């Protein structure tokens, strides 16, 4: 184990069908959570784990660190059902036992164009009671310039909360039109900025302690991030050995 590892718990919440499980898959970069239309697909809280090598700064000014991310894919809210009360209790148990960085990602479907008072109520109470920050995520939003009215309503109900719009997975429309996925990087940056332990981790300390074998694993896992990998190697001054 590397002693600079950090843990981050993400609680993904929102009504059934808003795209919670799709968001989980986008963060995991793998289709681990079943998704679907109609009846709730996720029947009880599911926990997923991923260990990621992340750069919490936009400009590479800090050294990337390892983060264990635990994603809690929660049961969809049917706002006034007993099931919701049960699933909220289950979720609170998880929140109570957590002493790590955490963030609630509350999903609202762009297509529904509605954010209800009761949702705001539940979200603020949970966040205050467990001292966990939240971000409201407008899901299935075709473009970041869309959904202004919904965003305004959410901010009014939640006192200027952070609202991020995403399309977690590309959307294929009839006639072959494809709406590309976007917003995940912005969302991740916002999550990290709210994570106290991660933001305050000491970059100088962690720079020396990332072992070479972990860097190799990172290259294997994140092939897309070649550029970042080579910058890391340069930081590590072990470029030749890794090649
Ligand atoms: N194309 C696309 N479809 C999405 C997106 N988010 C959700 N969906 C679709 O919306 C439906 C419900 O999504 P799901 O993640 O199962 O919702 P959950 O009940 O909140 O977990 C599924 O058919 C998903 O494929 C997205 O970002 N892009
Ligand atoms: Mg689901």
Domain ranges of the chain: 6-201, 211-243
- Tell me how far the alpha carbon of residue 34 lies from the centroid of ligand 1, in angstroms: 10
- Which pLDDT score, from 0 to 100, does residue 61 have? 56
**Using CA of residue 207, residue 212, residue 218, residue 223, what is the dihedral sign?**
positive
Interior angle at CA 99, CA 25 and CA 200, nearest 5: 85
Place of tokens 């290259």: 219
- Computed on alpha carbons and rounded to an integer, the radius of gyration of the chain in Å comes to 19
Q: Which of 146, 84, 94 is nearest to 121 (CA)?
A: 84
- Ligand showing the shortest atom-to-Cα distance for residue 25: 1
- Ligand showing the shortest atom-to-Cα distance for residue 42: 2
3-state secondary structure of 94: helix
- Ligand showing the shortest atom-to-Cα distance for residue 45: 2
Ligand 1 neighbour 87 (Cβ under 6 A): no
CATH number of 6-201: 3.40.50.300
Instruction: Record the pTM.
Output: 0.81
Ligand 1 neighbour 183 (Cβ under 6 A): no
- Tell me how far the alpha carbon of residue 142 lies from the centroid of ligand 2, in angstroms: 20
E strand or H helix that includes residue 51? strand 46-54
Shortest-distance Cα residue to atom 13 of ligand 1: 19
Residue 174's pLDDT band (cuts 50, 70, 90):
confident
3-state secondary structure of 6: strand
38 secondary structure, DSSP code: S
- Say if residue 137's pLDDT is above 60: yes
- Tell me how far the alpha carbon of residue 109 lies from the centroid of ligand 1, in angstroms: 9
pLDDT tens string 138-170: 999 999 999 999 999 999 999 889 999 999 999
Tell me phi and psi for residue 136, to 5 degrees: -95, 130
- Tell me how far the alpha carbon of residue 182 lies from the centroid of ligand 2, in angstroms: 20
Shortest-distance Cα residue to atom 12 of ligand 1: 17
- Say if residue 207's pLDDT is above 60: no
- Say if residue 209's pLDDT is above 80: no
Shortest-distance Cα residue to atom 1 of ligand 1: 171
What residues contact 19, with CB distance under 8 A and at least 6 apart? Answer: 35, 107, 109, 139, 140, 168
- Say if residue 110's pLDDT is above 70: yes
């Amino acid at each position: 184990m590397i002693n600079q590892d950090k843990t981050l718990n993400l609680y993904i919440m929102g009504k059934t069908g808003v795209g919670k499980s799709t968001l989980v898959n986008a963060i995991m970069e793998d289709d681990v959570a079943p998704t679907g239309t109609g009846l709730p697909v996720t029947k009880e809280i599911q926990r997923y784990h991923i260990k990621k090598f992340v750069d919490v700064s936009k400009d590479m000014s800090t050294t990337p660190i390892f983060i264990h991310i635990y994603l809690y894919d929660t049961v969809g809210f049917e706002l006034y059902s007993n099931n919701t009360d049960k699933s909220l209790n289950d979720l609170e148990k998880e929140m109570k036992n957590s002493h790590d960085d955490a963030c609630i990602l509350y999903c609202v479907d762009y297509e529904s164009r509605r954010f209800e008072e009761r949702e705001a109520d539940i979200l603020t109470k949970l966040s205050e009671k467990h001292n966990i920050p939240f971000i409201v995520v407008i899901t299935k939003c075709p473009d970041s310039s869309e959904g202004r009215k919904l965003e305004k309503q959410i901010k009014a109900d939640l006192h200027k909360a952070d609202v991020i719009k995403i399309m977690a997975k590309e959307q294929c429309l009839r006639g072959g039109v494809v709406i590309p996925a976007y917003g995940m990087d912005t969302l991740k940056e916002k999550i990290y900025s709210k994570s106290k332990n991660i933001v305050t981790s000491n970059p100088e300390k962690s720079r020396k302690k990332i072992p070479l074998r972990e860097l190799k694993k990172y290259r294997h896992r994140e092939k897309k991030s070649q550029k970042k990998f080579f910058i890391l190697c340069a930081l590590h001054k072990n470029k030749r050995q890794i090649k």
